[in-house]
Structure 1
Amino acid sequence: MMKRILKKITIIVLAIIGLAIAFYFLFTNFYPSFGGDVSKARKLVYQKSPQFKQGIFHNSKAVPKDLNFSETLKLSYTFLTTNVPNGRPKKDLKVHKLDSAAVANYTKEARLVWYGHSTFLVQLKGKTILLDPMLGQVAAPHPLLGENRFNKSFPLAVEKLGTIDAVLFSHDHYDHLDYETILKIKDKTKRFYVPLGLGVHLEAWGVPKDRITELDWWQETQLEELTLVCTPAQHFSGRKFNTTRSTLWSSWVIQSKDENIYFSGDSGYASHFKEIGEKYGPFDIALMECGQYDKMWPDIHMMPEETAQAGIDIKARKIMPIHWAGFKLALHDWTDPVTRLKIAADKLNLPVLTPELGTEIIVKDSINTTTNWWKGL
């Protein structure tokens, strides 16, 4: 009798697992937000890259450690069940609004406008550029799979943006590359610049291949009088369990004859910051990852103190913390990144900008008028 019961239970459990696996493959293969897959033909091309080995991309150091299925489940369980005091602001973040005509006709000195997390509007030398434009409400493949972002509105709705000269992406994670955002900007964007492999997602979402430029680390390209450099980062990629590290991740350098900007993307602390600083610094401003860190994943995201040191390594005249004030993707207090960073940067005599969402950041400005606007929220 007991054997028959155990047999039935085993059959039911296996059936549930089988249904879950079948649902996962149907969901990931037919739901468009997962993007495209790197073909065998593209992999042959990527073999020329020093970063591409055994069919996937690698960091210069042997990180991160690949988690097995049970480790992945344990990490997911910890994240989903841990209560984080002050993990989110008490109310939606204030957003300063931009005038669409003023943005379209902007011809003054180089400036940045922060949209929260890692998204920026950049205007310099008559060009309008977006960095990691993630304008969705949830950093996940489906709205039911994540928490809403900290701001409901944006400085300027993407629908009101005019022609976009260039879009730069650092990697393909959901808090940086968003399907719905691409649908809104693809027809008004002249060119997309991405690290190797990421173009497969854009192509899957209808972006013509001839408007996508894929670059490896240390490769440069010109956008008229601007130089764009795809520079290293220590991170990983993947939009599905079976596509981890199938596309490359990067940071970016944006240079004109007058301005020099660094955008870190996502990265753990490593020697590449000094290498980039030696080759392309000093920078007028460095937009530095500072948020979504944890001792469980120390190699792929920096602790705030490391962010400050990376700012010194990169030879930045001033830094701005990014990858915070957008989403709850880790287990720390939502203001912990900026609070700790300011303390660490002060010890290093490194200026830190902390603008509210939507306020203008002049690239060459040496006067810091930003406030601790997050206090009490």
Structure 2
Amino acid sequence: MKRLLLVLLLGILAVTAYTFCRSWSLPDFPDSPQYREGKFRNGLPRPPMSLRDGVQIWWNFLVSKPKGTVPERPIPVLPLDRAALDAAPDRSLFRIGHSTLLLKLRGQYWLTDPVFSERASPVQWAGPARFHAPPISIDDLPPIAGVILSHNHYDHLDHDAVLKLDGKTARFIAPLGVGDQLIAWGIDAAKVEQLDWWQSTEAAGLRLTATPAQHFSGRGLGDGDRSLWASWVLQDDDFRLFFSGDTGYFDGFKAIGEKYGPFDLTMIETGAYDPRWAFVHMQPEQTLQAHLDLRGKWLLPIHNGTFDLALHRWEQPFERITALAAEHGVEVTTPRMGEALDMAAPVHGTRWWQDVVTR
């Protein structure tokens, strides 16, 4: 069994490398302050990981995962259709899964990091599988004013979803380099806009700003950190939203909060964390602090519930962040997949995840 898993891992790596080498050329971005010596960089250098540590992490994922990382019962999903979306008030949010959010702003629809495929992987025969189906298919989605992308990892940038969304999406807004990947896949360059940190654009009455994050990028063996990663600020007049993408905790949250806060809602990653990779994925305590740094009013924890990407129990992100929020008087909302959330007047929601696990 272990040999089979090792063969599968090597197969995934080989396919990833082959796919990458055939897919696109790597542009340079010498004008970006984040781009140095052929790669994008965080403000602080990422701590090195030894080959032994990397192999040990992969080994734990493949053959020695602890119990509870997979939900024991079906995850509740509220099916969505076009009628329900159109009937929802403006400034509504629908959680599709992981970091995929459908936002209704000024009567138009926006998607963040749309992942609709069965697996967050370069291949669909191996890799992290979904725990639940999306509450709505791409075919049933209304026209999309814009797709907002945070970075190019497989659990945030879904090749098949991008191609299916192309016919109903007006714009794709991405960090530097990620847009080049879309163009290489066949998306019309006129529909793609790429931003560096602190750059802004106007679209469909909204102002969108790419803001710093502390992470990394890569989809193959030769493109590590050759495209940028970002968080996003969305402004609808005086209504302000923050979408974290993937990030470790860093002082950039305070800078973003000082420049653009307070935020009516922060959508911040809380899941797939581990002390060994805290530099690029926050612990729940850090998620809470980031929300406070941003001067957020309500917190929506994302990057959880959909894929098995870590070694903690499946429900742990929900339990930890809600307990921390209660302890510090922070308002946290936890809608079910497909459940409508009024971003202008959020509610806490139910502890739906407790019905999915047994003790």
> What TM-score, normalized by structure 2, do the two folds share?
0.92
Correspondence for 2:89: 108
1:49 aligns with 2:44: no
CA distance in 2, matches of 1:24, 1:352: 38
Deviations 1:231-265 (A, max 9, x none): 01100000012211110000001111142110000
Deviations 1:24-77 (A, max 9, x none): 897346547x884443xx30xx11111100100000111142x45554333211
Deviations 1:200-243 (A, max 9, x none): 22112210111100000000000132100000110000001221
Query: Shift of the alpha carbon at 1:352?
Result: 0.5
CA 1:64 to 1:202, structure 2 compared with 1: closer, same or farther past 3 Å? farther
1:371 aligns with 2:353: no
- Higher Cα Rg, which structure: 1
2:199 maps to a residue whose letter is Q
Matches within 5 A, 1:226-305: 226-305=206-285
1:38 and 1:246 in contact (8 A); partners too: no
Correspondence for 1:117: 98
2:16 and 2:122 in contact (8 A); partners too: no
1:122 maps to a residue whose letter is L
User: Percent identity of the aligned residues?
Assistant: 38
Deviations 1:167-194 (A, max 9, x none): 0000000000011111211121110000
2:31 maps to a residue whose letter is K
Correspondence for 1:322: 302
1:35 and 1:202 in contact (8 A); partners too: no
1:58 aligns with 2:41: yes
How many residue pairs match? The answer is 348
User: Which stretch shows the higher mean deviation, 108-117 or 310-319?
Assistant: 108-117
CA distance in 1, matches of 2:341, 2:88: 15
2:331 and 2:348 in contact (8 A); partners too: no
CA 1:84 to 1:355, structure 2 compared with 1: closer, same or farther past 3 Å? same
CA 1:341 to 1:326, structure 2 compared with 1: closer, same or farther past 3 Å? same
**Tell me, what secondary structure is at the counterpart of 2:139?**
helix
Correspondence for 1:9: none
Correspondence for 2:58: 76
CA distance in 2, matches of 1:221, 1:147: 34
The runs of 5 or more residues in structure 1 that have no matched partner are 1-19
Matches within 5 A, 1:11-160: 27-28=15-16, 30-31=18-19, 36-39=23-26, 42-43=27-28, 46-65=29-48, 67=49, 69-103=51-85, 105=86, 108-151=89-132, 153-160=133-140
1:36 and 1:203 in contact (8 A); partners too: no
Query: Shift of the alpha carbon at 1:158?
Result: 0.8
1:115 and 1:358 in contact (8 A); partners too: yes
**Tell me, what secondary structure is at the counterpart of 2:353?**
coil
1:27 maps to a residue whose letter is V
1:264 and 1:288 in contact (8 A); partners too: yes
CA distance in 1, matches of 2:243, 2:198: 14
Query: Shift of the alpha carbon at 1:80?
Result: 1.5
Query: Shift of the alpha carbon at 1:87?
Result: 0.6
**Tell me, what secondary structure is at the counterpart of 1:337?**
helix
CA distance in 2, matches of 1:236, 1:213: 20
CA distance in 1, matches of 2:15, 2:279: 30
2:247 and 2:281 in contact (8 A); partners too: yes
Matches within 5 A, 1:173-192: 173-192=153-172
> What TM-score, normalized by structure 1, do the two folds share?
0.87
2:131 maps to a residue whose letter is F
Query: Shift of the alpha carbon at 1:106?
Result: 5.2
CA distance in 2, matches of 1:277, 1:82: 40
Structure in which a larger fraction of residues adopt strand: 2
CA distance in 2, matches of 1:68, 1:54: 22
